[in-house]
Structure 1
Amino acid sequence: MWSWAVFVPHPPIIIPEVGRGEEKAAAKTLEGMQRICSELEDERPESLVVLTPHHVMGKGLSIICGESIAGDMGMFRAKECKLQAEGDFELATELAGHVKKEGLPVTMSTGKRVEMDHASFVPLYYLSKAWKSLPKLVLANPLGLSYEQSYFLGRVLRRLELKGKKAGIVFSGDLSHRLIPGAPAGYHPRAKEFDALVVKAFETSSADELLSLSEDQIESAGECGLRSALAFLGIVEGEPLRLFSYEGPFGVGYCTAIWKPAKGRGDIN
């Protein structure tokens, strides 16, 4: 059984060692991250899957695992800010086999030591504060999937048999990068529409409108988190989820949300 799933942003600036005070401009996001950590403080899983759009990308879903998975914020002026966890090869192998059996393409990337990308590091930084140590990790990049396949991936993940293992899943993704003049990907007047649709999708637990977006609408947003959002909605399968926050203080949309499976569902493994 998946114990829970969360959707979170990954801007390094919300890490205090990186932001050095600037993170306070993202107060709603910080509050959302803290609420997630408070919810999960006593629910540390044995293993954790992180869906990240910024790691190694291959054909289909790229699954990344190593004996150790470690990283720091050296690229963001905070090399002293470090994380390390053990990889879960068993879960990575089971995940790859299950996803492939369901008809989605999969690429495996393994090594003795895997570097943690910032889209994994940021949410894990907060969770490590709540848990004091990280569980075993598996990273996965969905960028090799189409949007429809990403939603299907979530449904596939829902059906993964975890054989009694307690596991959680983090869907990491920022929304539009074009919300205001001077935003990282430039400004686009329709960018806010994209973010509003993602927020609505989370409020209604429905991916229908997101799956109907045109390429122009997606391009206008300059997003990196649509596939993560669709996979999150796929694993939820229409059950209620809780949206904790949305804001775009630096021209990039940040959203925090959590889902826990409804008790009594017969199809939960």
Structure 2
Amino acid sequence: MGQIVYSCITPHGGEIILELAGQHVERMQTTRRSMETLGKRMREQRPDALVVITPHGIRSDGQFSIINSESVVGSEQENNRTYTMRREVERPLAQSIAKEAQESGLPVSLLNFGTTEGPLSVLPLDWGAVVPLAFMPDLPVVIITPSRLNSNQEMLLFGEILRKSIEQSDKSVGIIASCDWCHTHDEAGPYGYHPSAKIVDERIVSIIKSGALEECGNISQEDIESAKPDGIWQTLILAGAVPQNDRSIEWLSYEVPTYFGLICAEVSRN
């Protein structure tokens, strides 16, 4: 019988990876140290596979997208440097999650490219997966990208289905909710400045520290549009996968070294 052996909330800013930091090694150092801690703890639990819930993968409007290719390849570029990664896909688990979700009435897309199987069955791995996976053990992966068009209740339900599928498998699995937070902290950033960024991030920090991850769903649409967080949906899926009565949080760090917030936290089962 399978089980979730470890889970965490991580950011995905490229400069967290030391090889991409260039002249800015100090800029995300606090987060980098936290990521090293999370990676060490993940390895100690010896999972067979990793599930990454990312906002930046291949998206299909109104669908939960799950990669079903043989492998994934991706790279992240910062400061004229490139970090490249290839991972095999844990296809039986990916297919099982999709089947369970479809039977529960959730809209799900299984994604492939090129050929059904074999070396040409490869899809791109986005930076929302590449960055946290750079700190994790080299294992087969399941890559999931939710659509923001789906409701918060659907996110929670999908998380419950994710847990059920893992428990019905023969795999020990680690889950990574890949989440950057508000993106309007700095006028010089690509989304400009809005005072709600600080307010919303402070609320998110409080929510995660309290362990009541479901409350991320109470952030208003107005605040989402002005502060531009991209971690709410992945966190809600994680909340469904690790129920509140079976959940404890270890807070690691929060910082805003550029224009967006970075949070690292461990989400353990009691």
TM-score, reference length from structure 1: 0.88
Structure 1 residue 74, shift from structure 2 partner: 4.7
Asked whether the equivalents of residues 10 and 174 of structure 1 are also in contact (C-alpha less than 8 Å), the reply is: yes
Q: Which residue of 2 aligns with 1:19?
A: 21
Q: How does 1:43-82 map to 2 (within 5 A)?
A: 43-58=45-60, 59-74=62-77, 77-79=80-82, 81-82=83-84
| Root-mean-square deviation (Å) | 1.8
Q: Distance in 2 between matches of 1:202 and 1:228?
A: 13
Q: Distance in 2 between matches of 1:77 and 1:13?
A: 11
The code of the aligned residue for 1:126 comes to: F
Q: Distance in 2 between matches of 1:73 and 1:22?
A: 16
Asked whether the equivalents of residues 51 and 139 of structure 1 are also in contact (C-alpha less than 8 Å), the reply is: yes
Q: Which residue of 2 aligns with 1:265?
A: none
Q: How does 1:18-167 map to 2 (within 5 A)?
A: 18-58=20-60, 59-74=62-77, 77-79=80-82, 81-111=83-113, 112-127=121-136, 131=137, 134-144=138-148, 145-160=150-165, 161-167=167-173
Secondary structure of the residue aligned to 1:57 is coil
Secondary structure of the residue aligned to 1:167 is strand
Q: Distance in 1 between matches of 2:45 and 2:97?
A: 22
Give yes or no for the alignment of 1:231 onto 2:237.
Answer: yes
Asked whether the equivalents of residues 154 and 233 of structure 1 are also in contact (C-alpha less than 8 Å), the reply is: yes
Structure 1 residue 76, shift from structure 2 partner: 6.1
Structure 1 residue 93, shift from structure 2 partner: 0.5
Structure 1 residue 167, shift from structure 2 partner: 1.1
Secondary structure of the residue aligned to 2:95 is helix
Q: Distance in 1 between matches of 2:217 and 2:204?
A: 11
Stretch moving more, 209-218 or 239-248: 209-218
Amino-acid identity (%):
28
Secondary structure of the residue aligned to 1:3 is strand
**Aligned counterpart in structure 1 of residue 206 of structure 2, from 200, 216, 221:** 200
Unaligned runs of 5+ residues in structure 1 are: 263-269
- The change in CA–CA distance for 1:147 and 1:183 in structure 2 (over 3 A counts) is farther
Give yes or no for the alignment of 1:243 onto 2:251.
Answer: yes
Q: Distance in 2 between matches of 1:31 and 1:75?
A: 19
Q: Which residue of 2 aligns with 1:222?
A: 228
Q: Distance in 1 between matches of 2:234 and 2:25?
A: 23
Asked whether the equivalents of residues 29 and 255 of structure 1 are also in contact (C-alpha less than 8 Å), the reply is: yes
Q: How many corresponding residue pairs?
A: 256
| 1:134-183 Cα distance to aligned partner (Å, 9 max, x none) | 11111110125233322332233233234331111111110000123323
Q: Distance in 2 between matches of 1:25 and 1:104?
A: 41
Structure 1 residue 106, shift from structure 2 partner: 0.5
Asked whether the equivalents of residues 247 and 254 of structure 1 are also in contact (C-alpha less than 8 Å), the reply is: yes
Unaligned runs of 5+ residues in structure 2 are: 114-120
Give yes or no for the alignment of 1:256 onto 2:236.
Answer: no
TM-score, reference length from structure 2: 0.88
Asked whether the equivalents of residues 53 and 119 of structure 1 are also in contact (C-alpha less than 8 Å), the reply is: yes
Following superposition, which runs of at least 4 residues in structure 1 exceed 6 angstroms of deviation?
none
